[in-house]
Amino acid sequence: MSETPSWQELLDLVEQLNNSDYESASVQFGTVSVRLSKSEHVSESPAAGVLAPAPVAATPSVATTAAATPPASTPAPAAPAAGDTIDAPMIGVFYRRPSPGADEFVKPGDTVTADTTIGIIEIMKLMNPVAAGKAGVLGEFLVDDSNAVEFGQPLVQITLA
């Protein structure tokens, strides 16, 4: 995929949002940030990436902006986890394995660095690696393999090194 989304990719995003319970979504395509909202107003703040259930469906609006860095992650309200966690950087389907039948990227009890891949999140048939972002020892996974996750949802507990 190129750094710039095609019109079909944008239309697919609008359709996914329209068919979901979310009010808004934010996706990064290389250096292009795409923010979608079911309401008329699309916020330009990084918090626009926070997903919230929509009370009523409305006509989606699309805004694209160039960004040198991805928007800051703000955890969405999710099941509270004790201690530190590694959170989902986007919505999608979380996989703990690189492919069906393969070994898991990491297991509870493994020591990880900030660059260690702990899983992947699939969105629009794109596989996005999820790096630990922190050094430490992994605890319990809070999301089962192949389950949908929300932006900011805790994926795994970690004891920081």
For residue 161, name the pLDDT band (cuts at 50, 70, 90): confident
**Pick the residue with more confidence: 97 or 4?**
97
Using only C-alpha atoms, what is the Rg of the chain?
Answer: 16
pTM as predicted: 0.52
Judged against a pLDDT cut of 70, whether residue 58 lies above it is answered with no
Residues of the chain with CATH 2.40.50.100: 84-160
**Pick the residue with more confidence: 76 or 97?**
97
* pLDDT (0 to 100) of residue 67: 41
Give the pLDDT mean for 39-66: 44
Q: Which residues contact 112 (CB under 8 A, 6 or more apart)?
A: 106, 118, 132, 134, 135, 136, 137, 138, 158
Per-residue pLDDT tens digits for 7-30: 777 777 777 777 777 777 777 766
Which DSSP state fits 115? Answer: T
The β-bridge relationship of strands 126-131 and 136-141 is unpaired
When the pLDDT of each residue in the chain is averaged and rounded to a whole number, the result is: 75
Fold of 84-160: OB fold (Dihydrolipoamide Acetyltransferase, E2P) (2.40.50)
For residue 43, name the pLDDT band (cuts at 50, 70, 90): very low
Of 2-11, 48-57, 79-88, 147-156, least confident by mean pLDDT is 48-57
**Pick the residue with more confidence: 24 or 45?**
24
* pLDDT (0 to 100) of residue 15: 74
Judged against a pLDDT cut of 90, whether residue 143 lies above it is answered with yes
**Pick the residue with more confidence: 93 or 73?**
93
